[in-house]
Amino acid sequence: MGEYAQYSEFVSEYPKLGNLDKVGIVERRRIFDEIEATLPLRTVPDDVKDNQLVVQTFTIKARDGHDIPVRSYIPKTSKPLKSRPLLVYLHAGGFLFGDLESGDLNCRVLATRLDISILNVGYRLAPKWLFPTGLNDSYDATVWAAHNAEEHLSASPTAGFLVGGISSGANFAGVIAYTARDSGLTPPITGLFISIPVCLMPQAYHLLDPETRGQLLSLEQNAENPLLTRKSLMDIQGQTLRLLAGRPPDLIPT
């Protein structure tokens, strides 16, 4: 465990969440938003400066006419347009929390250090907007980016077209990759950036063979982690699943 010792400093600075077992989704969102705004990881690194990027916030249309908030990050470098890759970024938050701000610093760091253009997507969240609304928003934003990369994002998908995110955003990215492939999206997605993706709910572990199931240990190993306990995670999932009770199956955006 010594290789992870450096994280103890961050954990010591993280605000204590307290008992959230009986707190509803909307109130949890308020609490997490307040905490996130004060995180030590929100500190901007010295090499990531505002004057290195052109950052713009605007909206694009979803398939149902909703205005999806998005934010673009375009490096101020002399790199030729045709050689700058594009990343569509989808924030974390368990499909319930998060917005453009929660992914903002990650996008600034990636755009600056990798010299790529990024579109940060503020997809709609449960419980107000149930699945697959947030996924559809994310896919619609990806299609828009593919068709408007050169004009609005100073990037060329042919130089690299990635979709990625963290946790729930990584889940969306994986689904989008398959959907884009099957629908023949052009220019095609060329890569994925997925961090701690939500790929398999614990409720489905019983469907796996014993050997595979025995390797899925993260929920037990991190059951009492200070950021999100296993009990809180299962409670959030339970609240979300109850909202979907009785709805017809809907797996991918169309």
Q: Count of domains in the chain? A: 1
pLDDT beyond 50 at 116: yes
Residue 130 lies in a domain: yes
Residue 83 lies in a domain: yes
Q: For position 190, which CATH number holds?
A: 3.40.50.1820
Tell me which residue range forms the domain holding 72.
Answer: 44-198
pLDDT beyond 90 at 56: yes
pLDDT in tens, 123-133: 999 888 888 99
**pLDDT score for 228:** 74
Q: Which amino acid is at 39?
A: L
**pLDDT score for 252:** 43
Residue 21 lies in a domain: no
Task: Write down how long the chain is.
Answer: 254
Residue 214's Cβ-count burial label (10 Å; 0-12, 13-18, 19+) is exposed
Interacting residues of 234 by C-beta distance below 8 A, sequence separation 6+: 202
The angle, 0 to 180 degrees and rounded to 10, between the axes of the packed helices 230-243 and 25-36 is 130
Residue 75 lies in a domain: yes
Where would I find the H helices in 16-88? 25-36
Structure tokens at 202: 């614990």
Residue 207 lies in a domain: no
> Is the Cβ–Cβ distance between 24 and 239 less than 8 Å?
yes
**pLDDT score for 38:** 66
Split at pLDDT 50, 70, 90, the class of 122 is very high
pLDDT beyond 60 at 1: no
Residue 250 lies in a domain: no
Mean local confidence (pLDDT), 2-7: 64
pLDDT in tens, 137-169: 999 999 999 999 999 999 999 999 999 999 999
Residue 9 has phi, psi (to 5 degrees) of -65, -45
Residue 245 lies in a domain: no
**pLDDT score for 254:** 38
**pLDDT score for 10:** 61
Q: In what order do the strands lie in the sheet with 117-121?
A: 53-61, 67-75, 117-121, 86-90, 161-166, 191-195
List own/partner pairs for 175-178 with CB under 8 A and 24 or more apart.
Answer: 175/135, 175/139, 175/252, 175/253, 176/88, 176/135, 176/138, 176/139, 176/142, 176/253, 178/252
pLDDT in tens, 178-214: 999 999 999 999 999 999 887 887 878 889 999 998 8
pLDDT in tens, 60-115: 999 999 999 999 999 998 777 678 999 999 999 888 889 999 899 999 999 999 99
**pLDDT score for 4:** 64
Split at pLDDT 50, 70, 90, the class of 253 is very low
Residue 225 lies in a domain: no
**Is pLDDT larger for residue 200 or for residue 15?**
200
